């Protein structure tokens, strides 16, 4: 009986101990699970806690190992892809016409103020339609005017503003003649007016309508300089101006003169001067398509009725020669340094010398001396005799503001100007 009682107490103790162990394990499981539940909202920054199983893991591992060893298939992975493995959606490619960017007046102004070599880069900043319209216009300026006119007759570009479209319509309806009528001179030129004025100049010259092209180029040059375009952009127009000079006789009025025996270009010039015509060798020679000053007895010269005048833009450091309203030369130049600025106003060329001596210091510096700053030519002003236009002893200074107030030019350019314009030529210097 005693042994039976002891056995019963032992069984109850073991049962109590097992129950205590079960309760202890259950509590531990609860402690491990709670932090991973997100109970307080949000995702925990701590690693997710493992959940303790009450099942014997060794039995499960043993059973799984037995299934693999027997050749049983492993459980298939879930067919549901994880978020990390989902492919990224690619945006649909947009056509060029839908590209965002500059439009209208801003696109016109930015494009036109850029050097021709850089304009293709500006197109990348414009909206698709504006870029396409500007690229078409650039091709028209580069010799494809006929195809451009055909395209605008079919569809007027509207992305560059109403004013641009109005000029395009005028060009489509009447070619350069009607475009010139639409582009009446204005004291306040807009970007559309500037762009189409350059287009008119280039397209008219291409069609040998130099009367229209020359007038348009003159308005373009003045507009660029007055609106603060870069000097490099203005100098890009030099070949166009020089071409107009060489072909001037085809579109400008002239008289004829029969060369007499023994006459040279010098004699012809003096005779014309006595008759009140202020012309110089190179302008007469160029007007007649000659590459030199040689004459033949009986040769009939075309004598231009239009005299030349010179204009200087101090701020841009640019000098231009005009035959009436058309520019025939555009030169870079230097002007006075701060405190010794080149004087503004209207002047007249009076003392013009080759191989000049510099009298600005004592003793005077002869021509050819490296210290002589006048270079190959001197063209002094009647109204201010200490100022004028001259060459240089340092070609690298052209384009700067470092003279004592004179207009300084490359020696090759000042020689050309010296032969082109005579004494008494008018010179206007702008700010």
Return the H-helix or E-strand segment holding 328.
Answer: strand 326-332
- What region, left, alpha or beta, does residue 159 occupy, with left being phi > 0 and alpha being psi -120 to 50 degrees? alpha
Instruction: Indicate which residue of 112, 333, 406, 410 is catalytic.
Output: 406
**CA-derived radius of gyration, the chain:** 44
What distance in Å separates the CA atoms of residue 384 and residue 350, rounded to the nearest whole number?
10
Q: Is the dihedral of CA 7, 11, 16, 20 positive or negative?
A: positive
Establish whether 126 is a catalytic residue. no
What distance in Å separates the CA atoms of residue 394 and residue 177, rounded to the nearest whole number?
46
| CB neighbours of residue 100 within 10 Å | 9
Establish whether 390 is a catalytic residue. yes
Cis omega (within 30 of 0) for bond into 363: yes
403: helix, coil or strand?
A: strand
What distance in Å separates the CA atoms of residue 34 and residue 114, rounded to the nearest whole number?
69
239: helix, coil or strand?
A: helix
Q: Which residue, among 389, 314, 323, 322, has the nearest Cα to 351 in the 3D structure?
A: 389
Instruction: Indicate which residue of 112, 126, 333, 390 is catalytic.
Output: 390
Contact assessment for residue 329 and residue 241, using Cβ atoms and an 8 Å cutoff: yes
Q: Which residue, among 97, 166, 98, has the nearest Cα to 133 in the 3D structure?
A: 97
| CB neighbours of residue 54 within 10 Å | 9
What distance in Å separates the CA atoms of residue 333 and residue 230, rounded to the nearest whole number?
14
Q: Which residue has tokens 């004494």? A: 423
Burial of 62 per CB tally in 10 Å (0-12, 13-18, 19+)? exposed
Q: Which residues are catalytic?
A: 390, 406
């Amino acid at each position: 009986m005693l042994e039976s009682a002891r056995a019963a107490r032992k069984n109850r103790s073991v049962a109590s101990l097992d129950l205590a162990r079960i309760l202890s394990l259950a509590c531990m499981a609860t402690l491990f699970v709670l932090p991973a539940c997100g109970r307080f909202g949000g995702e925990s920054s701590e690693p997710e806690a493992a959940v303790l199983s009450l099942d014997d893991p060794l039995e499960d591992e043993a059973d799984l190992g037995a299934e693999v060893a027997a050749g049983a298939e492993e459980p298939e992975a879930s067919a549901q892809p994880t978020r990390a493995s989902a492919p990224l959606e690619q945006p649909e490619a947009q056509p060029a016409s839908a590209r965002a960017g500059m439009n209208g007046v801003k696109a016109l102004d930015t494009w036109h103020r850029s050097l021709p070599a850089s304009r293709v880069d500006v197109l990348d900043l414009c909206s698709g339609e504006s870029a396409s319209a500007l690229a078409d216009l650039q091709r028209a300026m580069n010799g494809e005017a006929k195809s451009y006119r055909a395209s605008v007759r079919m569809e007027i570009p509207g992305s560059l503003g109403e004013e641009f479209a109005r000029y395009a319509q005028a060009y489509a309806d009447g070619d350069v003649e009607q475009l010139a009528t639409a582009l009446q001179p204005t004291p306040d030129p807009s970007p559309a007016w500037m762009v189409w004025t350059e287009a008119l100049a280039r397209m008219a010259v291409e069609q040998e309508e130099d009367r229209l092209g020359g007038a348009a180029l003159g308005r373009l040059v003045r507009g660029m300089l007055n609106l603060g375009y870069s000097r490099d952009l203005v100098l890009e127009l030099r070949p166009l101006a020089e071409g107009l000079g060489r072909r001037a006789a085809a579109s400008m009025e002239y008289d004829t003169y029969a060369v007499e025996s023994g006459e040279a270009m010098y004699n012809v010039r003096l005779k014309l001067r006595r008759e009140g015509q202020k012309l110089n060798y190179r302008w007469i020679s160029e007007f007649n398509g000659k590459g030199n000053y040689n004459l033949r007895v009986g040769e009939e010269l075309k004598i231009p009725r239009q005299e030349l005048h010179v204009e200087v833009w101090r701020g841009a450091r640019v000098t231009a020669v005009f035959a009436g309203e058309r520019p025939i030369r555009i030169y870079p130049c230097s002007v006075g340094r701060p405190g010794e600025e080149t004087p503004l106003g209207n002047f007249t060329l009076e003392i013009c010398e080759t191989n000049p001596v510099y009298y600005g210091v004592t003793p005077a510096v002869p021509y050819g001396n490296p210290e002589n700053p006048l270079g190959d030519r001197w063209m002094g002003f009647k109204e201010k005799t200490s100022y004028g236009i001259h060459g240089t002893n340092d070609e690298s200074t052209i384009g700067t503001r470092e003279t004592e107030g004179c207009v300084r030019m490359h020696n090759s350019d000042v020689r050309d100007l010296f032969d082109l314009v005579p004494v008494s030529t008018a010179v206007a210097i702008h700010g």
